A = this chain, B = another copy of it.
Amino acid sequence: MTGDRAHNEFPFHNILILGMGMMGASLAMALRAVPGFNGHIHGVVRSARSVETIAGYGLADEIFQCRVPEEIDRLDVSGYDLIVLGVPPHSIIEMLPRFPEFKGVISDMSSTRREVHQAFAARPDLNFVGSHPMCGSENQGPAHGFADLFHNHLCLLLTDVGERKVHVDSLERVQEFWERLQMRTFRLTVSQHDEILAYLSHGPHVLSSLLALWADAHKLSNVSTHSAPLPITGGGFKGMSRIAGSNPEMWTDIMFTNADNILHALKQFRDMLDEVILDFERRDRADWTNWFRRARQARNHLCGIEEEL
């Protein structure tokens, strides 16, 4: 199938990447590397420093400096057939009311959807197909971009904008776009997306941060960490608290654009933890082995790991 596709025309030719942080810069690199793409890549960045970085790496055919959302209305977007938004959800939401007329397709890379799609629902003149490429890194900024960021990761494609379904042919072109970058795709609605992500990404992120604060607030652990020649935390704690090291501003944004679902999920975790505590106080040994076994199965299922028998 991929072999066939390589001979097909690439679905877009003149691409504007609006916001070139780690994700946007990686997208430019990935496009440069994809067989069959020989269109133009233009980039929009906020700071003079980013202009330099992007130019230094030769990532875009042309680079515009534009403060988003403040100066978005002065941007000339005619001539592109795809705009990919690489700015955070709150910037998308703020700039949309003043976004210039545009005939091509718009997509994005946001981790939360509802509020972004609500903002686009108020601009029915724009042809928006939301996408959420599920990949990233703790590192920020264009200098941390890399060409195979997207390879063999999942891209979630959103099938609706407010009350409307997205245009089927635009959806298919956007799907083709990400698959050419070697992503696998999966279609779902905005409300399904935000509900699922509260459990599989956003809620876990809050719990990871809480884990770090909780252990650090324990005086003896905190003090011993200062005295020991190596951290007392093993691989388990390190793995669980790794995402607590992510960008605080980005995660505040995600929290506030998917607040209801995250709150609901966290309350459910709290209730399940209450049950665990009550069960543990009863101390039935056989039940616990069974509980850990079920947890392992759940983890293997969710992470696509084959159970060893």
Interface residues of A (CB under 8 A from B): 134-136, 152-154, 156, 184-186, 188, 192, 195-197, 199-201, 203-218, 220-222, 224-225, 227-246, 248-249, 251-252, 255-256, 259, 262-263, 265-270, 272-274, 276-277, 280-281, 283, 285, 288-296, 298-305
Contact = CB atoms under 8 A, between A and B. Distances in A.
A47 to B, nearest CB: 18
A38 to B, nearest CB: 28
A209 B280 contact: no
A286 B176 CA distance: 39
Contacts of A153: 230
Given A188-B224, A210-B269, A277-B267, A302 B229 contact: no
Given A238-B303, A241-B302, A251-B292, 11 more contacts: A134-B232, A184-B228, A197-B232, A204-B215, A210-B269, A214-B265, A231-B304, A236-B242, A240-B243, A245-B296, A252-B285
B288 A154 contact: no
A135 to B, nearest CB: 7
Contacts of A274: 270
**Which of A135, A153, A301 has most B Cβ within 10 Å?**
A301
A153 B228 CA distance: 11
A211 B204 contact: yes
13 contacts: A156-B232, A196-B224, A200-B234, A206-B276, A211-B269, A216-B301, A231-B303, A233-B302, A233-B304, A244-B295, A245-B299, A256-B285, A259-B283
Nearest to A184: B229
Contacts of A289: 248-249, 252
Contacts of A292: 209, 244, 246, 248, 251-252
Given A196-B221, A270-B273, A288 B256 contact: yes
A283 B298 contact: no
B204 A236 contact: yes
A226 B277 CA distance: 31
A293 B204 contact: no
A94 to B, nearest CB: 14
B303 A154 contact: no
Contact of A280 (B251, B259, B300): B259
